[in-house]
């Protein structure tokens, strides 16, 4: 790692950058415009969020708050748990543990910095992780391994057998830093009694682990409060999902990112509720006016991102969708599979409900909710089996009236690169044009954004979509 990079405490640097951007809109428009001069490389990102109105500003506030929690954790006597996006932070908030979600932090860094997270990603390779391992962990993890972040106290992941590359990064971090490690583990099937029971048994073990290493006993009254907040949030997510189905959809592309980033950062926490309230209000306003959520108000195409989005510098991908008049009807990360969502009704056994009546009911709720998070729900088994990726993608494509599907991931996504070719072929057989992107969602060095954009344009043109 370059010595000058090592000079900066990464969490402090990023936390303060986000804190500054969160207060930027508090000034007058002229003041905000003037302030952009002083952040030439960050300007495009912060401008994109501020231009998205209050929901965009609330997203910046939420991310700043997320970092503030991390930076102040030790002073507040709290333990920090490194975890992954598909492991809900709900239980950690209920147990007063501060989550550090590597993929979120990598995405934020990749969008905010002109150089992206390259230096930190490469540091992971310097200390031994293969360069073929997933960039989504390698970014934030590199800063942690370099000792440039707040000290991690424990590591919890839930991806073994769903995304081995992900699980491997957390296992490596545990061995490298000699930190306590727990892996939640999912069977290849979902919805059957045997799998449901496995989810609960495994989750109980995870709680024991978290209790042991945080010194905090799980307080069921506190868990009930957090789950009540989840319930409230799920209702608003369902509203947004409903509005995504409208044609034209009143939901702007950037809201998709905010929706799942919020869930990964602050599920069950009032901070996410505030963001959702803002997004619902903004989208409802558009819906009542019968207008598209796109800035130019003209919806030309509806795209379903069947895996993840693209997160490199300047939120280029979302701005590209805006420029081309493309509606983003969600990705694998958007959906939560709560039992009140319309798409979930098409897939029996795929959902979770919220029941806070007894401690056992709460444990069941949280274990089944966790098992329905993106990727661990539908990438766990063969893609063409019941409730898995193909069924989910087709249900969503139909319900959200998608014109085409696009696969995007990282070269580390071996869980999907292992079968995305036959998957795409099956999708095409159902009448949906399907494009496979060969870039890295977090690392523009694999394929430049300019090349990615050209390939997207080529796909839309050749398939007669735009």
Partner 1 sequence: MTVFHDAATRVECDSIARWKKDGKPVVGYTCSYTPAEIFYAVDILPVRLRGIETDGMEVGDSYFGPFICSFPKCILQLAGKGRFSFLDGAIITPGCDGMRRLDECWRKAGEDFEGIVPDYFYYFDVPHKSENHGMAWYIEEINQLIKSVEDHFNVNITNEKLQAAIREFNKGRRLLNEIERLRCEKDVVVSGTDVFAAAVAGTVMPRDEYTAELKKWVSALKKRKTSLSEGKHRVMLVGSISDEIDLFELIENTQKALIVGENLCFGIRYEGNEIAEDGDPIEALAGHYLGSSVCPRMYGKYKERLAMLKERIGQSRAEGVIMQNIRFCDLHGAENALFERDLEAMGIPCLRVEREYGPHIDIGRMKLRINAFLERIEGRKKANKGDGDET
Site residues (CB under 8 A) for partner 1?
127-130, 132-133, 157, 160-161, 163-165, 167-172, 174-176, 181-183, 185, 187-189, 194, 197-198, 201-202, 205, 381-384, 411-423, 425, 438
In sequence order, what DSSP letters do the residues of 157-176 get, joined into one string? E--TTT-HHHHHHHHHHHHH
Choice between 163 and 287, CB closer to partner 1 = 163
Q: CA Rg, the chain, in Å?
A: 21
Choice between 284 and 385, CB closer to partner 1 = 385
CB of 425 to partner 1, least distance (A): 8
CB of 265 to partner 1, least distance (A): 25
CB of 394 to partner 1, least distance (A): 16
CB of 195 to partner 1, least distance (A): 9
Choice between 130 and 270, CB closer to partner 1 = 130
Cα distance between residue 343 and residue 237, in whole Å? 13
Contact in structure between 272 and 265 (CB atoms under 8 Å): yes
H helices within 267-328, ranges in order?
A: 270-289, 316-324
For 65-173, strand residue ranges (E) read: 79-83, 97-101, 154-157
In sequence order, what DSSP letters do the residues of 23-66 get, joined into one string? HGGGS-HHHHHHHHTT-TTTHHHHHHHHHT-HHHHHHHHHHHHH
End-to-end CA distance of the chain: 43
CB of 210 to partner 1, least distance (A): 15
Sequence-distant (6+) residues with CB within 8 A of 227 are 90, 268, 354, 356, 362, 365, 366
CB of 308 to partner 1, least distance (A): 15
Choice between 39 and 200, CB closer to partner 1 = 200
Cα distance between residue 465 and residue 56, in whole Å? 29
Q: Which of 434, 461, 435, 58 is CA-nearest to residue 272?
A: 58
Choice between 2 and 429, CB closer to partner 1 = 429
Choice between 158 and 444, CB closer to partner 1 = 158
Choice between 40 and 128, CB closer to partner 1 = 128
CB of 422 to partner 1, least distance (A): 4
Contact in structure between 306 and 331 (CB atoms under 8 Å): yes
């Amino acid at each position: 790692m370059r010595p000058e990079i090592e000079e900066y405490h990464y969490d402090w640097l990023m936390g303060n950058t986000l804190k500054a951007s969160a207060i930027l809109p508090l000034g007058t428009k002229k003041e905000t415009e003037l302030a952009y001069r002083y952040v030439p490389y960050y300007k495009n990102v912060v401008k994109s969020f501020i231009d998205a109105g209050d929901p965009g500003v609330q997203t910046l506030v939420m991310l700043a708050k997320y970092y503030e929690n991390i930076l102040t954790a030790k002073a507040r006597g709290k333990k920090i748990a490194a975890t992954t996006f598909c492991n809900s932070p709900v239980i950690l908030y209920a147990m007063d543990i501060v989550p550090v979600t590597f993929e979120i932090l990598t995405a934020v860094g990749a969008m905010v910095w002109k150089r992206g997270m390259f230096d930190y990603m490469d540091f992971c390779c310097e200390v031994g992780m293969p360069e073929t391992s997933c960039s989504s962990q390698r970014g934030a993890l590199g800063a942690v391994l370099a000792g440039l972040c707040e000290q991690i106290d424990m590591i919890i992941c839930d991806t073994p057998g769903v995304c081995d590359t992900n699980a491997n990064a957390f296992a490596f971090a545990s061995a490298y830093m000699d930190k306590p490690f727990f892996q939640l583990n999912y069977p290849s099937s979902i919805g059957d009694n045997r799998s449901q029971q496995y989810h609960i048994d495994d989750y109980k073990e995870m709680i024991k682990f978290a209790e042991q290493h945080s010194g905090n006993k799980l307080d069921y009254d506190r868990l009930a409060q957090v789950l009540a907040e989840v319930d409230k949030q799920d209702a608003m997510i369902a509203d947004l999902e409903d509005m995504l189905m409208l044609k034209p959809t009143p939901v702007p592309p950037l809201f998709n990112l905010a929706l799942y980033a919020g869930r990964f950062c602050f599920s069950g926490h009032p901070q996410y509720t505030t963001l959702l309230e803002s997004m619902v209000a903004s989208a409802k306003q558009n819906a009542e006016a019968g207008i598209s959520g796109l800035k130019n108000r003209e919806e030309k195409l509806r795209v379903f991102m069947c895996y993840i989005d693209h997160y490199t510098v300047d939120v280029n991908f979302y701005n590209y969708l805006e420029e081309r008049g493309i509606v983003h009807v969600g990705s694998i990360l958007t959906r939560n599979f709560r039992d009140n969502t319309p798409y979930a009704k098409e897939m029996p056994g795929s959902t979770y409900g919220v029941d806070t009546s007894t401690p056992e009911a709460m444990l069941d709720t949280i274990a089944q909710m966790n098992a329905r998070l993106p990727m661990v729900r539908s990438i766990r088994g063969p893609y063409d089996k019941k409730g898995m990726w193909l069924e989910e993608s087709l249900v969503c494509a139909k319900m959200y009236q998608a014109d085409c599907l696009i696969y995007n991931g990282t070269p580390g996504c071996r869980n999907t690169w292992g079968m995305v070719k036959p998957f795409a072929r099956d999708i095409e057989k159902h009448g949906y044009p399907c494009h496979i992107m060969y870039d890295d969602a977090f690392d523009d060095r694999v394929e430049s954004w300019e090349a990615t954009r050209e390939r997207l344009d080529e796909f839309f043109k050749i398939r007669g979509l735009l």
